Amino acid sequence: MAATRTGRLHRFQGAWSAEEWYATGWIMSGTSVGTALVVVDVQNDFADPKGSLFVRGAGKVVKVVNGLVERARSEGWPVFYTQDWHPETTPHFAKDGGIWPVHCVGGSRGADFHPDLMVEGVSVKKGGAGEDGYSGFTMRDLVEGKDRPTELHSLLQERNIARVVVVGLALDYCVKDTALDAVRLGYQVEVPLDATAAVNLSPDDGDKSIAALRAAGVSVS
């Protein structure tokens, strides 16, 4: 089943021949591996310069992600989206004892998808009951100190997905945690770096995240 990876994911925006797709390992010879695109938190508070937690570089990320959504559509791969979706009061927010400015309050403009994002799939909302929701797969109940799953894993299982491509915002938080959880759950995981951007609260957070992803077996390209 092993395929040689000679392709480059950042060529997504160009035209790909079937042979090139085989070369990436995304399509194994004779077998179509169930692949899904997981678009993490491309929401106004992260992707709009006026958002409360704007991630620099997000504008470019939206464009690259849209290219991947088009590619997924042409290949018949399902696309899943996640949305940070907080109540107005949550220990996730600095005003309530957490670390973040208020962001992505469910139903607010900040929680909406960026208007330029192509949305062609199911959205999984995380954090609605006041949990921390970095990973698209799990939320942490801050009161009970327990993790609880979102519906993303079962949605992927229903579609026989074996491989996920994780993109969106931000590399050093939700993309990283989603990708690491995906590995833990047994998926083959790819993170194309031109389809994500880091917050970099500390300047090397993005680089540390890339190292952690590679160490966990994620294909970072």
Annotated catalytic residues are: 41, 125, 174
Q: Which is nearer to Zn ion, 84 or 194 (CB)?
A: 84
In angstroms, the CA 176 to CA 217 distance is 12
CB 1 → Zn ion: shortest distance, Å? 38
84 lies in the site for Zn ion, by CB under 5 A: yes
Q: Which is nearer to Zn ion, 193 or 199 (CB)?
A: 199
Task: Tell me the CA distances in angstroms from 147 to 54, 83, 91, one per residue in order.
Answer: 27, 17, 15
Q: Which is nearer to Zn ion, 84 or 172 (CB)?
A: 84
> How many residues make contact with Zn ion (CB under 5 A)?
1
Phi, psi of 96, deg, nearest 5: -115, 20
In angstroms, the CA 173 to CA 190 distance is 16
CB 173 → Zn ion: shortest distance, Å? 8
CB 129 → Zn ion: shortest distance, Å? 13
Q: Which is nearer to Zn ion, 66 or 90 (CB)?
A: 90
SS3 percent helix, strand, coil of the chain, rounded to 5, is: 35, 20, 45
Q: Which is nearer to Zn ion, 6 or 123 (CB)?
A: 123
Q: Which residue is nearest to Zn ion (CB)?
A: 84
Answer whether 197's CB lies under 8 Å from 58's CB: yes
45 lies in the site for Zn ion, by CB under 5 A: no
Task: Tell me the CA distances in angstroms from 208 to 130, 136, 164, 211, 217, one per residue in order.
Answer: 28, 20, 21, 5, 14
Residue pointed to by tokens 């590679």 = 214
If DSSP states are collapsed to H, E and C, what string results for 183-198? HHCCCEEEECHHHEEC
CB 120 → Zn ion: shortest distance, Å? 24
CB 92 → Zn ion: shortest distance, Å? 5
Task: Tell me the CA distances in angstroms from 199 to 53, 88, 144, 174, 216, one per residue in order.
Answer: 9, 23, 28, 10, 21
177 lies in the site for Zn ion, by CB under 5 A: no
DSSP H or E stretch at residue 19: helix 18-24
Which residues contact Zn ion by CB under 5 A? 84
